[in-house]
Structure 1
Amino acid sequence: MPLFRSKAEAKVREAGYDPARLPPGQYFTEKWPVLHAGAVPDVDVSTWTLRIWGDVENEVTLGYDELKALPATEVVADIHCVTRWSRFDAHFKGVHWRELAKLCSPRPSAHFVIAHAEHGFTANSPLAAVEDEKALVVYEADGEPLTPEHGGPVRLVVPSKYFWKSAKWLNGLEISSIDKLGFWERYGYHNDADYWKEERYSF
C-alpha cells in the first residue's frame, strides 16, 4: 500500500471513521477548505434569483424567499474535492430537484443539468446525478446560512461527484438534452468526475 494511502487511512481511523469511505488519492480533513476561482461575489439575497430553463415545459424564476418556501430536505453527505481533501458528514439543507421538477416539468429528452453561477461559471452534470437523494440546491450548511466563502447565498451540492461540480453562487439551472462542458471541464477537468475512479483530469 502506498505511504500516502496508509497515512490517509490512519488519520481516518483516528477520527473514528471507516477508511473505506475515503476515495483513492484523497486525505481526510475535519475543516471545510475554501477554494474557488476569482473573488467572492457580493450577492444581495433581496435581488438574487434562480432561473430554471431549457428543456422544460415551464421556465421558472425563484427568489430567495420563494426557494426557501419550498419543501426542504436535510442531508448528511461526504464531500470530496479534486484537490484531494475529503470531509465526512457535512450537513446540508435545501431543496431537492424533485421539488423544482414539479415547477418546471422537464421534458423526456432532458438528460443533463448545466449549473450557472456568478462570474459566468458553469458546471455540467447528468440529470441523474442531480436527482440523487443527497443532491440539493443548498442554502444552509452545518446548521447555518450558507456563507459567501462557501457559495452562499445558494449553491448546488452534488455529492456523487468531485466537488467542483457543486457550483458555488448558483443563479441558474439549464436543463438540456445534450451535454455542455462546464468551466473546469473546458480546461481539462474530467467530464464525469467520479472520485472512486479518480476521474480528476481528462489528459
Structure 2
Amino acid sequence: MLKQSLARIRKGYGKKLISIHAWNAWLVLFLAVSGLMLLGAFWREWLGEGRVWLKWGHILAGLVLLLPVVYYLLLAAKHWKRLKGKPAQKANVITVLTLLFGWIVSGIVLWQYKAFGPRAANAALLAHDLFTWIGLPIIIYHSITRTRWLKEPDKRSIRPEQETKVAAVSNRTEKWLTQPQPIYTRRGFLKAAIGAGLAVTLGPTFVRWMGQWLQLPSAGESAAANANRLLPDPVPLPQSSPPIGGGAEGHFRIYTVTDIPSFDNSNWSFKVDGLVDNKLNWNWEQFVKLQREVQVSDFHCITGWSVYKNTWEGIPLAKLMDMAGVQNTATSVKFYSGDGVYTDSLTLEQARMDDVLVAVMHDGRPITNELGGPVRLIVPQMYAYKSVKWLNRIELIEGEHIGYWEQRGYDVDAWLPGKVKI
C-alpha cells in the first residue's frame, strides 16, 4: 500500500520537481524580504502596526515552506538516483535542504519562544541569523546562475521525463561532435562576477555581524561609542565595579523607532509628575547624586535574543514614587522616552516590584546612548519593550495608557514565561 502510494506520488516526478523548485523559490524570496524588513530599523518605524501583520505573514510562510520540503523528500530517492555521477549537484541539494531545515526549525523555536524559553530562543535566533547570512548569498547565486541564459541546457538536472530522454540522446551526439572548448566561457565569467559581487556586497555585513557575536566591546570601546556628553560621570558602587554579576553574557541588538538621540548637560532633565504630591525635577548634576542600588538580572527581547547576568545600578522605581508621593487617584505609571516618540506604562502594583529599576549604569559603566542611556527603565520580569530607553519623565496617571508597541499589537502585560503576573 505504501509502495503504491509512493509510486503514484513519484509518477511524473520531473514536472513535480520543477513545480516544487518554483514554489520553494517564491516562498524563500518572500521570507528573505520580509525577514530583512522586520530586522531593519527604517521599516520598523515605516510599517508601524503593519509590522505585526508582516511578522505573522513571515511565520505563516515559514510554516507553508514545510509543504514543498516534505513533498520533495517523497521524491528524493528517485531524484538522487538521477544525480548519480554528479557530486556538485548532490552537494547543492544537501546544502539547500540544510538551509531550509535550519530556517524552519529555528523559526519554529522563535515563533513558540514562550514554550521553549529564552535560552533556546537566543540560540535559535543566532542559528536563524547564521543560516540567513550564509544562505541568502548561496540562494541568490543559485537562483541567478540557474536561469536559462546562464545555465548550460545539458547540465539541468530537474527536467520533465520526456525532455530528459530527448536530452540524453542529444547529449551523446553533442559529446561526440563537440569541439574543444575555451578554458573560461562567457557563462563562467558571468557566474564568477556574480559571486564576487555578492561577496563584496554582503561580505562586510556578515563580518560585522560575526564580530558582534564573537567579541563584546571593551570598556574603553564602549565609552568611546557613547555619544552622550554628560558630566560628571556617575561613580560606580563597589558592587558594580567589578560587576557582581561577573559581566553580561550576550550581545544587545540595537532596535529603535527613531534615530538614536544623544544628550548633554544642557538638554537633559528628569521629571516625576502627574498625580503626585511633590513634583520632582532634576538636572544631571542633581540626578547622579541620588542614592543608587545594584541588582543582577537577565534581559530578554521579544524578538528572541537575551543578555544574561547584567549588573545594573540605579534608583528603584518604588523609591522615586515614594519621594513624589503617589495620590490615591493614580492607577498607572506612564514612562516617556527622550526620543520624543516612545512611551509605555505599568500598573502601580507592577511599578512597585522590587527589581524595577531606573538604571544609570551597566556593568560598572554609564549606559551608552545606543543602549538607552544616560537613564533607562529596567523591568527584568517583562520583555524589553517595557524597559523604556532614554527615560526622562515619569507620570502618575489615572486609567490605562497603551504604549507604543502595544498600539501595534504587542501584549499590554509583557510577562516572561513562568513569572508571577501582578
User: Normalising by the residue count of structure 1, what TM-score does the alignment of the two structures yield?
Assistant: 0.81
Higher relative contact order (CA 8 A, sep 6+): 1
Q: State the 1:166 CA deviation.
A: 0.6
One-letter code aligned to 2:322: K
Which one of the candidate residues 346, 356, 359 is aligned to 1:135?
A: 356
Q: State the 1:112 CA deviation.
A: 1.3
Instruction: Tell whether 2:122 aligns with 1:27.
Output: yes
Runs (4+) of structure 1 exceeding 3 A deviation are: 2-5, 21-25
Distance 2:277 2:335 in 1: 18
| Native 8 Å contact 2:118 2:305 kept in 1 | no
Q: Which residue number in structure 2 is paired with residue 94 of structure 1?
A: 314
Q: Which residue number in structure 1 is paired with residue 394 of structure 2?
A: 173
One-letter code aligned to 1:85: W
Instruction: Tell whether 2:57 aligns with 1:57.
Output: no
Q: State the 1:98 CA deviation.
A: 3.0
C-alpha deviations, 1:3-22, integer Å up to 9, x for none?
559x99xxxxxxxxxxxx94
C-alpha deviations, 1:12-62, integer Å up to 9, x for none?
xxxxxxxxx944873257112221111111211343111111111111111
Count of residues in Structure 1 that have an aligned counterpart in Structure 2: 185
SS of 1:106's equivalent? Answer: coil
Query: RMSD across aligned C-alpha pairs, in angstroms?
Result: 2.7
Q: Which residue number in structure 1 is paired with residue 69 of structure 2?
A: none
Q: Which residue number in structure 2 is paired with residue 113 of structure 1?
A: 333
SS of 2:380's equivalent? Answer: coil
Q: What are the within-5 Å matches in structure 2 for residues 4-83 of structure 1?
A: 4=106, 22-23=117-118, 26-27=121-122, 30-83=250-303
| Native 8 Å contact 2:318 2:353 kept in 1 | no
Q: Name structure 1 gaps, 5 residues minimum.
A: 9-20, 199-203
One-letter code aligned to 2:381: S
Q: Which has the higher strand share?
A: 1
One-letter code aligned to 1:194: W
Distance 2:361 2:250 in 1: 18
Distance 1:79 1:41 in 2: 22
Q: State the 1:94 CA deviation.
A: 0.6
One-letter code aligned to 1:172: R
One-letter code aligned to 1:124: S
User: Normalising by the residue count of structure 2, what TM-score does the alignment of the two structures yield?
Assistant: 0.41
User: Residue 24 and residue 147 in structure 1: after superposition, are their counterparts in 2 closer, same or farther (change >3 A)?
Assistant: closer
Which has the larger Rg?
2
Distance 1:70 1:185 in 2: 32
One-letter code aligned to 1:39: D
Q: Which residue number in structure 2 is paired with residue 85 of structure 1?
A: 305
Q: State the 1:130 CA deviation.
A: 2.3
Q: State the 1:197 CA deviation.
A: 7.1
| Native 8 Å contact 1:47 1:63 kept in 2 | no
Instruction: Tell whether 2:246 aligns with 1:151.
Output: no
SS of 2:405's equivalent? Answer: helix
